[in-house]
Chains A and B, each alone.
Chain A
């Protein structure tokens, strides 16, 4: 079974890199690789499911390769994710035509939900969670109330940005994407780590707790009043 899935994906990818578009129909595609249409449907519902599956493969291979690097355990989280992005782009390079096709469908407004990335995203979120936990343990990433919950989404946003950047990058050997990866990751980790906003927030909190602003005490007062009034009403 694994063998057939592989065969389908391999032929599907080479069809796309050759023709820059998808096969006309499942029937024609199945025939071209000496397969029954019925057999194809055993493994995949349609071409879209193949797309999802290939994207999932790409991220799985990437994570595997990144973790296999001897220097990986020594890396800080920032370097781990950088290494992930660089490897991801290397993986994608061999499937550029496929990636362009995936994104171009979406850009044309046929499907703006980027569903082909669904499984890819789930896999990434697992990996991101792992990294965030590690980062919080080493305090490379600061655990903040409320905001911490969206770290994962922020990292996904960054990943999506990098993918789209690469799709539109026509520089020599995608040098600009390399630069973009460095810059966006440096920025996000500067924000995730200790930064001036923490200080500002802390200071603001301190002010609120310790300095009586006339308008603030008024405000407190009226709130209190309302509550009391409310209380009175309910008792009466």
Chain B
């Protein structure tokens, strides 16, 4: 029902990015604003003519998003693909528009679910569980979720579509020429991003890996982070194509906000979310890289339920050091040091002209100051819409920068793709929650030590 709101979040979630691939952020921010405008237009029209359907709106949004994407480099295609893969989040019009980058799958028939179970366990779903929903209750990006019961417990059973792994590869191959053309990048550069995307998408198709990661990460996180909870996972009811976990209660973001939670509860949930990411990124160096609202369950007592460790980004040490040095405020003053970091992150290239470098660094500096701001303060109010407006405005402004628009080179390290996406999601959810967060960062501790 509230699909459009979820979708709006998804789009907006692309708008708050810290550091390195700033020009991409800028583009998404701009798109976010356009989409916002479309919504306003839509509802204004709707007052006059109640029969206008959401499809119009979605088609208009898809148009704008698509246009923006087509001006972007490399990673944009990945995002397009991801966006279109998240069928549960994106309405039809978006999916249609992104067909080229899409693996589309109608729901699995129950006989195929039975077959998958037979292959994995030698038994049918109803042999294993007391009840098992014949129809899927939910669509995951590459599979579907069934609800099952046994011994008084309720389970969520995720079943994967057949042939997804293969289709990921061929889909990406299909997207590549398209990417090369619309992004104006050369093939080698596109490959750099494609490889990262392919590896991540393929790892998502391995439910055994997901099972192990889920159990491992949730155990580690539970020890250190307050107010979060995870489902139990059941290896004996899981295989490479089936994943069984506890059924999670609680509501998703949109629904949760409709119940008018208190500021205190919203802060508590936001803090749990911040701490969850902070601990993974800075301590574990492995992060749940799919922060879309569907993966979080919010309970009225401020406990955050978290699922889906299918998409986990392992952050290489070298990249980590170069990436997070950018949020250090002192760096903003030191032009040479910053430039060095930007070279390492593949944002600047040796063959860039001096004026290009200056222009790029100028934009980036502004972005870094803005997006890194939460890290440099002890407490940050993500509910502050002025802050997000500032980001939008800067996005608009920097999208006009020549050096970015006419760049034929990829800007930004491939390892940043998923980390940026993670921060997109995090900032956005915190904004929706209007949460006031006690921000932490490894730099603060370092400063204290020094």
Contact = CB atoms under 8 A, between A and B. Distances in A.
Contacts of A79: 109-111
Contacts of B108: 182
B127 to A, nearest CB: 9
Contacts of A74: 134
Interface residues of B, number: 18
Contact of B112 (A75, A86, A171, A173): A86
Interface string B134-171: 10000000000000000000000000011101100000
Given A171-B163, A171-B166, A182 B109 contact: yes
Contacts of A175: 162-163, 166
Given A70-B126, A175-B166, A179-B163, A83 B111 contact: yes
A215 B217 CA distance: 76
A179 B162 contact: yes
A178 interface: yes
B126 A82 contact: no
A186 B106 contact: yes
A82 B111 CA distance: 6
Contacts of B119: 173
A56 B165 CA distance: 35
Scoring A69, A75, A178 by chain B CB atoms within 10 A of each residue's CB, the highest score goes to A178
B408 interface: no
B367 to A, nearest CB: 44
Interface in A57-80: 69-71, 74-75, 78-79
Contacts of B163: 171, 175-176, 178-179
A228 interface: no
Scoring B106, B109, B118, B134 by chain A CB atoms within 10 A of each residue's CB, the highest score goes to B109
Interface residues of A, number: 22
Contacts of B110: 71, 75, 79
Contact of B109 (A78, A171, A172, A173): A78
Contacts of B232: none
A182 B114 contact: no
Contacts of A90: 115, 118
Contacts of A178: 112, 115, 162-163
A86 B162 contact: no
A83 B166 CA distance: 24
Given A71-B124, A71-B126, A86-B115, A176 B109 contact: no
Interface in B370-384: none
Interface in B56-113: 106, 108-112
Contacts of B126: 70-71
Nearest to B109: A82
A86 B124 CA distance: 14
A72 to B, nearest CB: 10
Interface in A71-103: 71, 74-75, 78-79, 82-83, 86, 90
Give the interface SS of chain A, mostly helix, strand, loop or mixed: helix
B39 to A, nearest CB: 32
A83 B126 CA distance: 15
A79 B109 CA distance: 7
Nearest to B108: A182
Nearest to A183: B106
Contact of B111 (A86, A172, A173, A176): A86
Contacts of A176: 162-163, 166
B404 to A, nearest CB: 41
A82 B107 CA distance: 13
A71 B114 contact: yes
Interface in A165-208: 171-173, 175-176, 178-179, 181-182, 185-186
A176 B112 CA distance: 13
A83 B110 CA distance: 9
A198 B163 CA distance: 34
Contacts of A71: 110, 114, 124, 126
Interface in A34-71: 69-71
Nearest to B164: A175
Scoring A78, A173, A175, A181 by chain B CB atoms within 10 A of each residue's CB, the highest score goes to A175
B117 to A, nearest CB: 11
A40 B50 CA distance: 80
B59 to A, nearest CB: 21
Contacts of B124: 69, 71
Nearest to A181: B112
A188 to B, nearest CB: 13
A180 to B, nearest CB: 9
Scoring B111, B112, B115, B165 by chain A CB atoms within 10 A of each residue's CB, the highest score goes to B111
Contacts of B161: 179
B112 A182 contact: yes
16 contacts: A69-B114, A69-B124, A71-B124, A74-B134, A75-B110, A79-B110, A90-B115, A172-B165, A175-B163, A178-B112, A178-B162, A179-B163, A182-B106, A182-B162, A185-B109, A186-B109
The 6 tightest CB contacts between A and B, nearest first, are A83-B111, A178-B162, A82-B111, A175-B163, A175-B162, A86-B115
Interface of B: 106, 108-112, 114-115, 118-119, 124, 126, 134, 161-163, 165-166
Given A75-B110, A82-B111, A178-B112, 19 more contacts: A71-B114, A71-B124, A75-B111, A78-B109, A82-B112, A86-B111, A86-B112, A90-B118, A171-B163, A172-B165, A172-B166, A175-B162, A175-B163, A175-B166, A176-B162, A178-B115, A178-B163, A181-B112, A186-B109
